Amino acid sequence: MISWPQDLATNVQFFLRWAHLLAGITWIGMLYFFNLVNVQFQKEIDAATKGKINPILMPKALFWFRWGAMLTWLSGFTYYFLLVGSETAGHKPLAYFLVGWSIAFVAISGTFRASVAGGPLKDGRVLGLVVAVIVLFFGYATALMAQQAGSSSRTASRPSNGVRARP
């Protein structure tokens, strides 16, 4: 017989995980709607039709897009902090993550600025390769620093079979 967990912490984590999943589906679904459906649709209709459709459609679509994004981030960060709170490393991995990816963002922004100026980065394939190397480097570096701080892979993975990783 299947039973529902009786402790509050498990139920809160269960709720946060599902809220994060469903809000993420809503957020990405609306993003696909805007980019794949609405852009082409707006090109095909005339100005009079846009004046009738957009005031009704866009506020509702943007409402779901914004709140899907907001709930995805809030539930995800709350869930992450609950998991990290039980780790021996505490919040050090999050600090490594935020600092590392902030530096990566600056490096990628500089790379894009350099590509506009010309040179070998003007070629999209070279630019893509350089950005991929930066992302892989910072991803590996932040994961390595978090591991050395004592973080387990529990915060990076969500076991689907109910088995918890050892801290």
Tens of pLDDT, residues 122-142: 888 999 999 999 999 988 888
- Give the model's pLDDT for residue 73: 92
- Give the model's pLDDT for residue 160: 44
- Give the model's pLDDT for residue 4: 79
CA dihedral 69→17→150→165, nearest 10 degrees, is -150
What's the alpha-carbon Rg for the chain, to the nearest Å? 22
Angle between helices 92-117 and 124-148 (to 10 degrees): 170
Contact partners, residue 65, CB within 8 Å, separation at least 6: 27, 30, 31, 34
Find the angle CA(120)-CA(123)-CA(127) to the nearest 5 degrees.
80
- For residue 88, pLDDT over 80 is answered with no
Average pLDDT over residues 41-70: 94
What's the distance, CA 155 to chain centroid? 15
- For residue 115, pLDDT over 80 is answered with yes
Query: pLDDT band at 154, cuts 50/70/90?
Result: low
